Amino acid sequence: MFSSIEALAFDLDGTLVDSLPDLAAAANAMREHFGLPRLTDARVAGHVGDGLAKLVHRTLTDERDGVAEPARWEAGLAFFARHYREHLADLTRPYAGVVEALELLRARRLPLAVVTNKPAAFAMPLLEQLGLAGYFSLILGGDSLPEKKPSALPLTHTAEVLGVAPAKLAMVGDSINDVLAARAAGCPVVAVSYGYGDLADGDADATIGNLVELYDLLKNDRA
């Protein structure tokens, strides 16, 4: 399946970087602003994955399907965005093996992209602050196109920009949104076993515990 891969797209939060400490800090600063008790990092992790608007609804209500009162949500969104923008990379770091994997993949001249549901206004500077932006030919945020994951559009657009067929673009991520987007676009999908997602065994075409394993996965499958 991976023998003909010509490009790779990566999710950001929970795949390339562990951003939970800074996301949780922003969420709890927002909750404290409204007189609400703090949430654990693990609780916030369960609310991550569908973009900033949903994250604010979920962390205000502490419910996966929660919808905050409109005025409170609007004020909370502004507070969260302001706090998070000022503390994007205080504690956020690439996962172990990420830089090594990106170096290996770049050495193979494979075009790389980031396809995240995080707004581009946060994704771009975060990657820049962590020294990762230069590895990627394309960085798509959740608001870069009319639709975000689990829609196929971000991946079909990425394939078009990178000049490859969707079947030759592998999606690498930690959540069901990554899998659904890949399936809808006709892309192979690799799951990481860490991160914040809720994937079950067999959801993806392959599962790895460290991004360095991508190199061997592509090499061995090609061999």
Are 197 and 85 in contact, with CB atoms under 8 Å apart?
A: no
Nearest to 171 by CA among 54, 15, 49: 15
Residue 127 DSSP code: H
**What is the pLDDT averaged over residues 79-93?**
97
pLDDT tens column, 10-47: 999 999 999 999 999 999 999 999 999 999 999 999 99
Q: Could you give the CA distance from residue 117 to residue 119 in angstroms, rounded to a whole number?
A: 6
**Dihedral angle over CA of 141, 156, 152, 218, nearest 10:** -90
Q: Which helix (H) or strand (E) holds 169?
A: strand 169-173
When pLDDT is averaged across residues 110-116 and rounded to a whole number, the result is: 97
> How far is 197 from 175, CA to CA, in rounded Å?
4
- Bridge partners of 88, per DSSP, are none
User: Mean of the per-residue pLDDT values for the chain?
Assistant: 94
For the question of residue 11 being annotated catalytic, the response is yes
pLDDT at 1 over 90: no
Q: Which of 11, 13, 50, 178 is catalytic?
A: 11
pLDDT at 220 over 70: no
Among 18-27, 106-115, 190-199, 207-216, the minimum mean pLDDT is found in 190-199
Percent of the chain having pLDDT more than 90? 89
What is the C-alpha separation between 117 and 111, in angstroms, rounded? 20
C-alpha–C-alpha distance, residues 165 and 163, integer Å: 7
Q: Which residue reads 């929660």 in tokens?
A: 66
pLDDT at 223: 44
Mean pLDDT score, 200-214: 92
Band of the pLDDT at 70, cuts 50, 70, 90?
A: very high
